[in-house]
Every structure is written in structure tokens, then in C-alpha cells.
Amino acid sequence: MDRRIFLKKSGPALAGVSGAMSLPILASCSSQDAQADSPLAGKKWGMVIDLTRCQSDCTACMDACRQENNVALHGDPRWDVHWIRRATIRPKDESSGLEEKSVLLMCNQCDNPPCAQVCPVQATYKREDGIVLIDHHRCIGCRYCMIACPYNARFFNYKDNPEWPNKEYPRRSHGVAESCHFCAHLLDKGGRPACVEACEQAGQRALIFGDMNDPESEIAQLVKEGLLKRIRADWGTEPKVYYQGL
Amino acid sequence: MKRSTILTEKNRSRWATIFAAIILLPIGISAIGLDVSRDAEMPDVFLEPVDSKWENCIRDSTEMRFRHMDVLKEIRDKVIRYGIRDEVTLAGCGDCHQNRDQFCDRCHAAASVTLDCFGCHYYPESASERTAIPGGEVKNG
């Protein structure tokens, strides 16, 4: 065997051996990237608000939210905090033939959240399962997130909350911003958001909640049908709250 | 050139001694003061032995006494950043340590640490009536 033939044959053999030896290392790298140990990995929570089922005089979801999350209601619109609220939208002129509509508004849990981008102290962030939430220990109360949010979903605590209905969950002190987080503390324990439970108990079933990454879930199938609308969908924030009948 | 009448060759060493004394005076005072305060004002609460009934705490009881703030922050970051809620909550501390006056406030008052945990987090009420006021400070009465 001359040198030329030896090199020709040993090249592929060496490549094969080194490739086989690096396989376990490569495999361990990819599993670290996916963070398989995190309980949040692979989930993407979303909500559908079915306005055709929602009753304009019902306040079940809003009341349940205040009870669960200790959301302050001072009785003055300047200081009231809302995680989920109702707004009435009217057509600009009577002749358009459009009807007046009552719409539920809440934090849209953007996939590309402007509030998290602008937060100067990283108090607002997107969790691995897509929920946007605030670390109130870090929040300095600069209100930049309130300005950045295209949905006016963030509210500021100008005052301390005098009520404390749910002692299991902390309230917010004066000087921090807050908004809906899909009841992340209940989701982590395997539950569902308080508003969704309340809506179902009230018999409306207008709020449909689920994991959009699970193709079997009701919400994934509704989104797949493509009949749902999102508010300001053209702004690139990719909200995860969808509307039916908007 | 006019020669100084105050700082002459003769009294230069005397001036140097006075300046050195002025510079070193605060250091001397603080050294003596620290020595006095160490004897007089060390709060007794930090010297009490850890009760053996707390040995089944979430961490070693001595570690909890000196590093509980770090332990709590560790748990906090796990909960709010990664959603791992497998450890104790602040209210859960109150399941065993029911008296907040004894468990939290006594040492923090001695160490002049203002707690702002309880403005937002619920802790089981202690025997004495209390009202939480803004900023988490506690008013008895």
C-alpha cells in the first residue's frame, strides 16, 4: 500500500470515528438549549374571547379577577386598576350600519411584548410559556411599560390597595405597575385563570383558554380555523388573546 | 523673598505634630467608640441559641438565621422567573413561626432593618393587634 492509497482510506475512517465520538456531546448540547427540566417549556398559553357569547351586563370575570388577584378598586377612575375590563365601542357615524359593541379588554400577552422591551430594570419579562409578567420586587414604577403598551393594559398603583380578599396571593404596594398574567400562579399548580372559571360558572363560556402548542386543544383548533381577530394585529406584537365576533 | 514668621526652621517639627494629631483624631475617636459600642450595644437576640424544635426547617437552622434573606430570594426567583413552586412561601413560614413579633420584627428592629415584605405578602397575624401601613412598616396598637 503506497502513501496515497493509505491517506485516501484513512481519511473517511477518521472522520467517522471522530463523528461518532462527538455525538453524545452534541446531543447533550441540544438538550441543554431546550431546557427540558423547566416545567414551562413547550407551552404557549392563549385565550379566545367569544364576544357572541359574552353578555354586556355580566361582570363575573372582572369580579373573579379582583377576588383572586387582589386588584384594587378605589372607586375613582384615576386610581382604579383593571386586569380585565369592559369597553363599549361605537361606530364613528350612524350611517355605517355598524353596531355598538361591548368588548372585554385585557393584557394581550404579546409574543413580542413592547412592555418587556422597554423595561429599564427587566422587571417585566416574558416567561418561557409565553406569559408576560412583572417582578414587582424589581419594578421601580417608571411607567415606561404603560406608555409602550398598545393595548392600555398596564395600570399603576397610585395608592395602596385597602382590600385584601385573597391572602394566598400578594397584593401590590404603592408605586408599581401591574397587569393581567393569566393567573400564572394558578397555571403553575395545574389550574386555569380565575376569569375563565368564573365565565364557565356563569354559564357563558365566552372565555376559552388553553395551550396553543397542543394541537388537540380547543383554542389551537379555533385559531387554526382562522376566523379569529386580534387587536392591532398589524403592529407586530403578536398578541395571544383572540376575539371572535369583533 | 519674605521669610515666614510662623513656620520657621525651628518650630517645624511642632507644627507637624499638631497636624498629625488633627488628622488622626477622628480615627482614634471611632476606634475607641467602636470598642465601647461593641460591649454596650450588641443586641441579645443575635446571641440566643437556635431552638432545637426548628431543626426541621427548610434549610439548616443556623444557615436560616444568617442567610434567610438569600434563601428567600433564591426561592422568589425560582417562582417568578421559572414557575417552580415546590418550596415554601412567605406565608408558609408562618405555619411554624406563628409569632411575627418574635420571628421577624425583633431581630430586624435590633439590626435597624426595615422590612418591606409585608406590605404585599400576607403573614399570619401575631398576638398583638397590628395594622400594616404603606411601606411595610408596622404600627402596634
Same domain flag for B86 and B101: yes
Which residue on chain A is closest to B124 by alpha carbon? A167
Can you give the pLDDT at residue A52? 93
* Residue in B with minimal Cα distance to A126: B81
pLDDT digits (tens, 9 = 90+) for B92-113: 888 888 888 888 888 888 888 8
- A187 CB neighbours in chain B (<8 A) are 83
Residue B67 and residue B92 share a domain: yes
* Same domain assignment for residues B33 and B77: no
Verify whether the Cβ–Cβ distance B91 to A160 is below 8 Å.
no
- A167 in reach of chain B (CB within 8 A): yes
Residues in chain B: 141
- Judging contacts by C-beta atoms under 8 Å, the chain B residues touching residue A127 are 81-83
Q: Give yes or no: residues B87 and B124 share one domain.
A: yes
pLDDT at B133: 42
pLDDT at A24 over 90: no
Same domain, B8 and B53: no
Is A129 in contact with B116 (Cβ distance < 8 A)? no
Architecture (CATH level 2) of domain A45-114+162-169+180-244 = 2-Layer Sandwich (3.30)
Q: Which residue has the cell 424544635?
A: B53
Q: Is the pLDDT of residue A60 over 90?
A: yes
Q: Is the ipTM of this complex over 0.85?
A: no
Q: Tell me the residue ranges of DSSP E strands in A77-206.
A: 84-89, 101-106, 124-126, 132-134, 155-156, 177-178
Query: Where do we find the cell 408605586?
Result: A175
Confidence of residue B24 (pLDDT cuts 50, 70, 90): very high
Mutate to test the interface with B, among A121, A160, A183, A189 (most CBs of B within 10 A): A160
Q: Containing domain of residue B36, as a range?
A: 1-41
Ranges A31-40, B36-45, B75-84, most confident: B75-84
Q: Look at chain B and report how many structural domains it folds into.
A: 2
- If you average pLDDT over each of A8-17, A25-34, A147-156, B9-18, which comes out highest? A147-156
A162 part of contact set with chain B, CB < 8 Å: no
Q: Where would I find the H helices in chain B?
A: 12-40, 61-82, 90-96, 100, 106-110
CB contact under 8 A, A171 and B120: yes
Residue A36 scores a pLDDT above 60: no
For residue B54, give how far its alpha carbon lies from the nearest alpha carbon of chain A (Å): 24
Size of interface A-B (CB pairs under 8 A): 45
Q: pLDDT (tens digit, 9 = 90+) per residue, A183-222?
A: 999 999 999 999 999 999 999 899 999 999 999 999 999 9
Strands (E), A2-135: 45-50, 84-89, 101-106, 124-126, 132-134
Q: Which of A125, A173, A184 sits opposite B119 (nearest CB)?
A: A173
**Residues of A in Cβ contact (< 8 Å) with B120:** 136, 170-173
B100 and B58: one domain?
Answer: yes
Domain ranges of chain A: 1-34, 45-114+162-169+180-244
pLDDT band of residue B3 (cuts 50, 70, 90) is low
| Pair (B2, B64) in one structural domain | no
On whether both B30 and B72 belong to a single domain, the answer is: no
* Shared domain check, B109 and B49: yes
Grid cell locating A85: 375590563
Same domain, B60 and B129: yes
Same domain (yes/no): B59, B120: yes
Please write the tens of the pLDDT for every residue from A85-110: 999 998 888 788 888 899 999 999 99
What is the pLDDT at residue B96? 84
pLDDT tens for each residue of A120-170? 999 999 999 999 999 999 999 999 999 999 999 999 999 998 889 998 899
Q: Tell if the CB–CB gap between B119 and A136 is shorter than 8 Å.
A: no
